[in-house]
Amino acid sequence: MTTQHRIERLMDLTDEHIQGLTDVLMDCVEGGASISFMSPLTRERAVAFWRRVAQGVAAGERALLVAGDEHGICGTVQLVLDLPENQPHRADLAKMLVHRRARRQGLGAALMLAAESMARDCGKTLLVLDAVTNGDAARLYERLGWFRVGDVPNFALMPDGTPCSTTYYYRDLNQPVVPEKLEESPLTKESVVDTHIREIIETQESHV
Ligand SMILES: CC(C)(COP(=O)(O)OP(=O)(O)OC[C@H]1O[C@@H](n2cnc3c(N)ncnc32)[C@H](O)[C@@H]1OP(=O)(O)O)[C@@H](O)C(=O)NCCC(=O)NCCS
């Protein structure tokens, strides 16, 4: 069975959004993901993080996507847009998170494609991100055509305090994804996504 997910861009975060995003963040940290937070992550700290993100979204400094299923928000990704004035074409992709209940169904890939679409909407042509070296997320990014720049040993800590290497990636949005890197995803074909994002995903598919 293919789960239906809806991906949308939030311009204004309600308390309900913040609670849903908090659930996703806490689930990811509990699951051992190295995403800026140490374990145990309290609900209070997680809510405070999303309130700061909400302020950034309202100020136009960040752009935020959420994915939902029948239980609420199950995935998210954001672009940091407020970079130095000599980098107007660039954004950082951050906090790519999928709740454990929604993983391995293609949602991560769909969120990444939607984030690329949103970046274009924001006038960005170059995206940069970092991920734990050789982790689940690194595989996802490489599959989607992100270019591996290099590793920084001992860059961060896992939630349990273990040091981990980080790999930097970039994606030039003027370059089409290499066909063999983009696997078939049932989600990008069948889920309900915003019409505009759907068009971009279909455009992307027609390029490969
Ligand atoms: C990394 C992460 C976002 C991936 O999300 P996801 O929704 O599971 O991603 P996808 O489903 O697109 O791909 C994940 C795997 O499922 C596989 N998959 C996708 N659709 C599938 C399907 N219908 N059936 C079976 N497998 C499928 C993919 O091939 C991929 O396989 P791989 O791990 O062997 O490479 C998620 O694991 C996560 O949130 N991790 C914790 C937070 C984190 O580390 N974020 C990254 C910060 S840089």
The string of DSSP codes covering 73-91 is EEEEEEEE----TT-TTEE
Nearest to 129 by CA among 78, 177, 201, 82: 78
| Tens-digit pLDDT string for the chain (208 aa) | 456 799 999 999 999 999 999 999 999 999 999 999 999 999 999 999 999 999 999 999 999 999 999 999 999 999 999 999 999 999 999 999 999 999 999 999 999 999 999 999 999 999 999 999 999 999 999 999 999 999 999 999 999 999 999 999 999 999 987 655 555 554 444 444 444 455 545 544 444 3
Name the residue range of residue 144's domain: 6-206
Ligand 1 atom 19 nearest Cα: 106
The amino acid at 46: A
From the alpha carbon of 97, which atom of ligand 1 is closest?
39
149 located within any domain: yes
Contact 46, 25 (CB under 8 A): yes
**Best mutation site among 99, 140, 185, 188 for ligand 1 pocket (most ligand atoms within 8 Å of CB):** 140
Contact 172, 46 (CB under 8 A): no
Q: What length is written for the chain?
A: 208
Ligand 1 atom 4 nearest Cα: 108
The amino acid at 122: C
83 located within any domain: yes
User: Does residue 110's CB lie within 6 angstroms of at least one atom of ligand 1?
Assistant: no
Nearest to 48 by CA among 59, 36, 60: 36
Q: What CATH number should be reported for the domain holding residue 54? A: 3.40.630.30
Into how many domains does the chain fold? Answer: 1
16 located within any domain: yes
1 located within any domain: no
172 located within any domain: yes
